Amino acid sequence: MPDTVSPYFVTGVAHPDPAETQTKRLNTAAVANPAVVAPDRRGDAVDGLLLYTARSTPDATTFLRELEKVREQGWATDLGGHETSDIRNRRCLYCNAPDRGGSMSTEALAALARLAEERVDHRFKGLPPDADGLTVGELAAQRRNLFTGGFTTPVLALSAERLEHNLALMETYATRHGLAFAPHGKTSMAPQLFRRQTDRGAWGITLAVPHQVWVARAYGVQRVFLANELVDPAALRRISAGLDADDDFRLVCYVDSVRGVELMDAALRGARRPLDVVVELAAGDGARTGVRTEREGAAVADAVAAVPTLRLVGVAGYEGEVPGADPERVHAWLRRLTGLAAAFDRAGRFAGAEEIVVSAGGSAWFDAVADVFAGIPELSLPVLKLLRSGAYVSHDDGHYGRLTPFNRVPEEGALEPAFRLWTQVVSRPSPDQAFVNAGKRDAAYDLDLPLAQVIRRDGTERPATGVSVTALSDQHAWLRTDAGADVEVGDWIGLGLSHPCTSFDKWPLIPLAEADGTVVDYIRTFF
pLDDT band at residue 159 using 50, 70 and 90 as cut-offs: very high
The angle at the Cα of 504, spanning 502 to 508, to the nearest 5 degrees, equals 130
What mean pLDDT do residues 61-75 have? Answer: 51
pLDDT band at residue 31 using 50, 70 and 90 as cut-offs: very low
The pLDDT of residue 102 is: 53
How far is CA 251 from each of CA 149, 203, 240, 463, rounded to the nearest angstrom?
A: 43, 12, 9, 47
**Total length of the chain:** 527
How is residue 410 annotated by DSSP? G
Domain spans of the chain, in order of start: 4-86, 161-412
- Is the model's pLDDT at 53 over the cut of 80? no
Q: What is the CA 241 to chain-centroid distance, rounded?
A: 25
What mean pLDDT do residues 348-360 have? Answer: 97
- Is the model's pLDDT at 14 over the cut of 60? no
How far is CA 60 from each of CA 82, 95, 167, rounded to the nearest angstrom?
A: 11, 8, 20
What mean pLDDT do residues 91-105 have? Answer: 45
- Is the model's pLDDT at 16 over the cut of 70? no
pLDDT band at residue 442 using 50, 70 and 90 as cut-offs: very high
Lowest mean pLDDT among 13-17, 171-175, 301-305, 471-475: 13-17
- Is the model's pLDDT at 5 over the cut of 80? no
The pLDDT of residue 327 is: 96
Closest CA to 396 of 163, 206, 208, 227: 163
Q: What is the CA 231 to chain-centroid distance, rounded?
A: 25
The pLDDT of residue 193 is: 98
SS3 track for 236-289: HHHHHHHHHHCCCCEEEEEECCHHHHHHHHHHHCCCCCCEEEEEEECCCCCCCC
The pLDDT of residue 66 is: 53
DSSP run (H or E) holding 68: helix 60-72
- Is the model's pLDDT at 503 over the cut of 80? yes
The pLDDT of residue 73 is: 52
How is residue 193 annotated by DSSP? H
- Rounded distance, CA 143 to CA 151, Å? 12
- Is the model's pLDDT at 21 over the cut of 50? no
- Rounded distance, CA 345 to CA 514, Å? 49
The pLDDT of residue 108 is: 81
Lowest mean pLDDT among 25-34, 292-301, 407-416, 466-475: 25-34
Of 82 and 526, which is predicted with more confidence?
A: 526
Half-sphere exposure at residue 499, Cβ-oriented, CA atoms within 13 angstroms: 14
Lowest mean pLDDT among 80-89, 292-301, 332-341: 80-89
- Rounded distance, CA 153 to CA 395, Å? 22
| Residues 6+ away with beta carbon under 8 Å from 489 | 425, 426, 427, 428
Closest CA to 199 of 181, 217, 226: 181
List, as one string, the DSSP characters of 22-67.
Answer: BP--EETTS---GGGS-GGGTT-EETTEE---TTT---HHHHHHHH
Neighbours of 315 (CB within 10 A): 31
- Rounded distance, CA 340 to CA 298, Å? 9
The pLDDT of residue 110 is: 85
What mean pLDDT do residues 365-383 have? Answer: 97
User: What angle separates helix 294-305 from helix 258-268, to the nearest 10 degrees?
Assistant: 20
Secondary structure percentages of the chain, helix, strand, coil, to 5: 30, 25, 45
CATH number for the domain whose boundaries are 161-412: 3.20.20.10
- Rounded distance, CA 24 to CA 75, Å? 7
- Is the model's pLDDT at 43 over the cut of 90? no
What mean pLDDT do residues 337-347 have? Answer: 98
Closest CA to 377 of 333, 341, 331, 419: 341
Largest Cα span, the chain: 77
- Is the model's pLDDT at 154 over the cut of 60? yes
pLDDT band at residue 107 using 50, 70 and 90 as cut-offs: confident
The pLDDT of residue 99 is: 45
- Is the model's pLDDT at 71 over the cut of 90? no
How is residue 127 annotated by DSSP? -
- Is the model's pLDDT at 26 over the cut of 70? no
Of 320 and 36, which is predicted with more confidence?
A: 320
- Rounded distance, CA 186 to CA 173, Å? 21
- Rounded distance, CA 112 to CA 332, Å? 43
Residues 221-241 have pLDDT tens digits of 999 999 999 999 999 999 999
- Is the model's pLDDT at 18 over the cut of 80? no
Percent of the chain with pLDDT over 70: 80
- Rounded distance, CA 278 to CA 437, Å? 46
Please, which residues bridge with residue 316 across strands?
280, 359
Q: Work out whether the CA dihedral 88, 94, 96, 102 comes out positive or negative.
A: negative
Residues 265-274 have pLDDT tens digits of 999 999 999 9
DSSP run (H or E) holding 524: strand 519-524
Q: Are 67 and 107 in contact (CB under 8 A)?
A: no
Buried b (16+ CB within 10 A) or exposed e, 451-490: bbbbbbeeeeeeebeebebeebeeebbbbebeeebebeee
Rg (CA), the chain: 25
The pLDDT of residue 270 is: 94
- Is the model's pLDDT at 143 over the cut of 50? yes
Of 277 and 65, which is predicted with more confidence?
A: 277
| Residues 6+ away with beta carbon under 8 Å from 296 | none
How is residue 46 annotated by DSSP? E
Residues 392-441 have pLDDT tens digits of 999 999 999 999 999 999 999 999 999 999 999 999 999 999 999 999 99
Q: Output the average pLDDT for the chain.
A: 85
Closest CA to 308 of 259, 353, 275, 347: 275
